[in-house]
Amino acid sequence: MVLTPEEWVRQHFVQFLIDVKKYPVSLIALEKQLVINNRKKRTDILIFNNEGKHDIIVECKAPSIKITQDTFDQIARYNLKLRANYLIVTNGLSHFYCKMDFENETYVFLKEIPDYQ
């Protein structure tokens, strides 16, 4: 397996989730497939809650990739189907954390994601 820059970011973010935020390994799925508009897509990291519902979607980009509105649009499209509570976009250097507000169909930026409860 080739360690691409994006894969390096994903592996390090998973370690951050496990070691720092204390998320159990058993609740973390990598490259979970979903179908949107009859097209197969994959989430980089998908974290479930204790009830087995989607809680956090993480989109990883290579460090050389600038985080743009297009990146958020991509993860937002995934979340129309998954309905996770939090969205995270990271390139390993910059991290953006959002909490969904489904009632107002928007998201609120956070300083960080909560620790595992």
Which pair of structure tokens corresponds to residue 87?
Answer: 């969205």
CATH number, domain with residue 95: 3.90.1570.30
Helix (H, G, I), strand (E, B) or coil at 101: strand
Is the whole-model pTM more than 0.85? Answer: yes
Q: What is each CA distance from 81 to 5, 15, 35, 109, in whole angstroms?
A: 27, 26, 9, 21
Number of domains in the chain: 1
Residue 116 forms part of a structural domain? no
Per residue in 65-111, pLDDT (tens digit) is 999 988 888 888 888 889 999 999 999 999 999 999 988 888 899 99
Range of the domain at 14: 5-110
Q: Strands 54-60 and 86-90, how do they pair?
A: parallel
Per residue in 16-34, pLDDT (tens digit) is 999 999 999 999 999 887 7
